[in-house]
Amino acid sequence: MTNQEKHKQCMREIKGTLIVTLLCCIWHVVTAFALNGKGLYFLGMPAWFSVSVLGTIIIAIIGVIYLVKKVFVDFEYDEEVEEGVDAQ
């Protein structure tokens, strides 16, 4: 990979990670506010807490699995490693 391709891949990975993080935050906040004060209980706790936290965990796990399989690429970003390989 050229340095430009490596930089482009790094930016793609950063954007993907930010999107998953934003989805988790949005889910957490929206469900917490939507279910707060309803008087519902789930797993012995207020529904807003249970749905918000458990949903965030599930979204995070699914997001990480997607990122690892579809977005992240394994490569060396260090230029010194490439120079050392060429010198040998």
Distance CA 31, CA 21 (A): 16
> Residue 60 falls within a domain, yes or no?
yes
Indicate whether 64 belongs to any domain: yes
Contact 20, 11 (CB under 8 A): no
Asked, for residue 20, whether it belongs to a domain, the answer is: yes
% of residues, the chain, pLDDT over 70: 88
pTM: 0.79
pLDDT at residue 76 greater than cutoff 90: no
| 76 vs 79, residue with greater confidence | 76
Tell whether 82 is covered by a domain: no
Tell me, what's the pLDDT at 86? 54
Q: Is residue 14 part of a domain?
A: yes
Which one is predicted more confidently, 32 or 88? 32
Residue 79 resides in a domain: no
* Count of structural domains within the chain: 1
pLDDT digits (tens, 9 = 90+) for 38-56: 889 988 899 999 999 999 9
Structural domain of 21? 3-74
- Report if residue 80 sits inside a domain: no
pLDDT higher than threshold 70 for residue 83: no
Model pLDDT for residues 18-40, shown as the tens digit of each residue: 999 999 999 999 999 998 888 89
Distances (CA, A) of 39 to 25, 34, 59: 23, 12, 25
